[in-house]
């Protein structure tokens, strides 16, 4: 084969951003490969024919940012709807607004507290364990927001996320539990938020709509029978941007980095609207899933192209990932961080190769973080390789 100037492993937002930048600034030829049969990485979505819902295949994705560089960049490829993210939670047969705010508190206590009264009440309840160092996540939660709200909204939800009783989890998993002493239940606090007007996949297709960018799907970097594989590219000295799992790149030689994953169970209802909102959390232990996503409700502006009598919901079941599962959230214990630091050392001495994205750097990144780090990695690490 005649090699391109740059090979990018992974057609997620990190890889697509680097590809776009390399072509725009240096006019090079870029080959993107992805082991999946679609571009977009975890932000990929597709249209569900029966309901007209845009299904986010790897879990609900909401775009939000306060970073002007990222906002200006993404707006070159898509416009955004005026969607504002809000989440509700079912506890003990009653629906409450989240994050915990004055509406949640007054509904929960059947009261009409003012902001100051609610603040005093929570401080008093949080004082239950005053003077002690929280020994585990359970004690930490109680000391942050008091036992009643912690047990109603945090304890079992967190237990389901980690498949572990919070009294067995380290206190350090949460640093703060935000409580708002007003009725604002807008979930994100960023300057900009919204959903891509014609969907995630159209947005990402436009990023690489250039004849100098080629994409090979269903192509594994570690499959020696395809031309853009690790050993062949190394031998030929072709610059590589690698956005797959960093431990996999080194054959797991130092051990496996730990991740949590999510299993999705699809449920279809013969009704136009099942929840009346896009995200319903389940705070109690008797419902085995953490939350359910009703995709139609992310795009109310598309009512005309949606089925008024059918809806599709995905229930999310959280668990620890095994090799071969989709890695979603880094577990990030002290041992994981130490292991990652060792892999990072190996990565630093890998010639012509830039590690990036959430898998390549073992980090939970929102989309705006990934785009920001990709723009920086392009400038600082990738462009110098291409100019050589």
User: Which of the residues 49, 176, 231, 387 is marked catalytic?
Assistant: 176
Region label for 110, one of left (φ > 0), alpha (ψ between -120 and 50) or beta (otherwise): left
- Report how far residue 239's alpha carbon sits from residue 362's, in angstroms, rounded to the nearest whole number: 21
Q: 76: which DSSP letter?
A: T
Q: Using the rule CB under 6 A, is 243 a contact of ligand FAD?
A: yes
Beta-bridge partners for 87: 98
260 a catalytic residue: yes
* Residue closer to Na ion (CB basis): 102 or 213: 213
Q: Using the rule CB under 6 A, is 357 a contact of ligand FAD?
A: yes
- Report how far residue 205's alpha carbon sits from residue 196's, in angstroms, rounded to the nearest whole number: 12
366 a catalytic residue: yes
Helices and strands per DSSP (H, E), number in the chain: 14, 16
User: Which of the residues 48, 291, 340, 365 is marked catalytic?
Assistant: 291
- Pairing verdict, β 259-269 and 311-320: antiparallel
Q: Using the rule CB under 6 A, is 9 a contact of ligand FAD?
A: yes
Q: Using the rule CB under 6 A, is 321 a contact of ligand FAD?
A: no
Number of residues that bind Na ion (CB under 5 A): 1
User: Which of the residues 54, 83, 150, 180 is marked catalytic?
Assistant: 180
Range list of β-strands (E), the chain: 6-9, 30-33, 45-47, 54-56, 63-65, 87-91, 94-98, 192-194, 213-216, 240-242, 259-269, 279-282, 291-294, 311-320, 329-330, 353-355
Binding-site string for ligand FAD from residue 54 to residue 73, where x marks contact by CB under 6 A and - marks none = ----xxxxxx----------
* Residue closer to Na ion (CB basis): 213 or 293: 213
343 is in the binding site of which of Na ion, ligand FAD, none (Cβ under 5 to 8 A by kind)?
none
- Report how far residue 60's alpha carbon sits from residue 295's, in angstroms, rounded to the nearest whole number: 8
189 a catalytic residue: no
212 a catalytic residue: no
Burial environment of residue 89 by CB neighbours within 10 A (0 to 12, 13 to 18, 19 or more) = buried
Beta-bridge partners for 15: none
213 is in the binding site of which of ligand FAD, Na ion, none (Cβ under 5 to 8 A by kind)?
Na ion
Q: Using the rule CB under 6 A, is 30 a contact of ligand FAD?
A: no
291 a catalytic residue: yes
* Residue closer to ligand FAD (CB basis): 63 or 275: 63
Q: Using the rule CB under 6 A, is 215 a contact of ligand FAD?
A: no
Beta-bridge partners for 269: 311
Binding-site string for ligand FAD from residue 137 to residue 176, where x marks contact by CB under 6 A and - marks none = ----------------------------------------
> Strand, helix or coil at 156?
helix
Q: Using the rule CB under 6 A, is 36 a contact of ligand FAD?
A: yes
Q: In sequence order, which residues have a C-beta less than 8 Å from that of residue 136 and are 6 or more positions away?
A: 166, 167, 168, 169, 170, 171
Using CB under 5 A as the binding rule, the residues of this chain from 194 to 213 that contact Na ion are 213
* Residue closer to Na ion (CB basis): 41 or 141: 41
* Residue closer to ligand FAD (CB basis): 65 or 143: 65
Distance of CA 285 to the CA centre of its chain: 24
Q: 312: which DSSP letter?
A: E
- Report how far residue 162's alpha carbon sits from residue 100's, in angstroms, rounded to the nearest whole number: 21
88 a catalytic residue: no
User: Which of the residues 260, 282, 358, 378 is marked catalytic?
Assistant: 260
113 a catalytic residue: no
Q: Using the rule CB under 6 A, is 19 a contact of ligand FAD?
A: no
The distance of closest approach from Cβ of residue 208 to Na ion in the complex, given in angstroms and rounded to an integer, is 6
Residues belonging to the active site: 176, 180, 260, 291, 316, 364, 366
User: What are the residues binding ligand FAD (CB under 6 A)?
Assistant: 9-15, 33-36, 41-43, 58-63, 220-222, 243-244, 262, 328, 357-359, 365-368, 370
């Amino acid at each position: 084969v005649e090699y391109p100037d740059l090979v990018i492993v992974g057609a997620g937002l990190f890889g697509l951003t680097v590809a776009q930048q390399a072509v725009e600034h240096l006019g090079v030829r870029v080959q993107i490969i992805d082991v999946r049969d679609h571009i977009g990485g975890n932000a990929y979505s597709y249209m569900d024919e029966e309901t007209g819902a845009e299904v986010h295949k790897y879990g609900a994705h909401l775009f939000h940012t306060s970073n002007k560089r990222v906002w200006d960049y993404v707006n070159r490829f898509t416009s955004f709807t005026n969607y504002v993210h809000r989440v509700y939670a079912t506890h003990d047969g009653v629906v409450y607004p989240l994050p915990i705010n004055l509406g949640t508190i007054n509904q929960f206590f059947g009261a009409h507290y003012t902001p100051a009264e609610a603040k005093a009440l929570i401080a008093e309840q949080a004082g239950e364990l005053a003077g002690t160092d929280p020994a585990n996540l359970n004690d930490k939660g109680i000391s942050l927001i008091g036992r009643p709200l912690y047990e109603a909204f945090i304890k079992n939800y967190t237990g389901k996320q980690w498949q572990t009783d919070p009294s067995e989890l380290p206190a350090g998993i949460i640093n703060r539990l935000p409580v708002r002493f007003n009725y604002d239940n807008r979930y994100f606090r960023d300057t900009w938020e919204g959903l891509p007007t014609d969907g995630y996949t159209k947005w990402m297709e436009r990023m690489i709509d250039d004849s100098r960018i080629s994409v090979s799907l269903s192509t594994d970097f570690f499959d020696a029978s395809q031309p853009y594989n690790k050993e062949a590219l190394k031998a030929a000295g072709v610059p590589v941007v690698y956005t797959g799992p960093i431990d996999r790149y080194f054959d797991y030689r130092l051990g496996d980095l730990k991740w949590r994953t999510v299993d999705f169970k699809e449920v279809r209802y013969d009704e136009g609207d099942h929840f009346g909102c896009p995200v319903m959390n389940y705070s109690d232990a008797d419902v085995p899933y953490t939350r359910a996503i009703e995709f139609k409700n992310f795009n109310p502006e598309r009512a005309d192209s949606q089925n008024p009598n059918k809806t599709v919901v995905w229930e999310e079941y959280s668990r620890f990932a095994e090799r071969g599962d989709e890695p979603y959230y880094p577990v990030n214990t002290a041992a994981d961080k130490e292991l990652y630091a060792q892999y990072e050392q190996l990565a630093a001495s890998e010639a012509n190769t830039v590690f990036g994205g959430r898998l390549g750097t073992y980090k939970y990144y929102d989309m705006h973080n990934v785009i920001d780090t990709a723009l920086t990695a392009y400038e600082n690490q990738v462009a110098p390789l291409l100019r050589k």
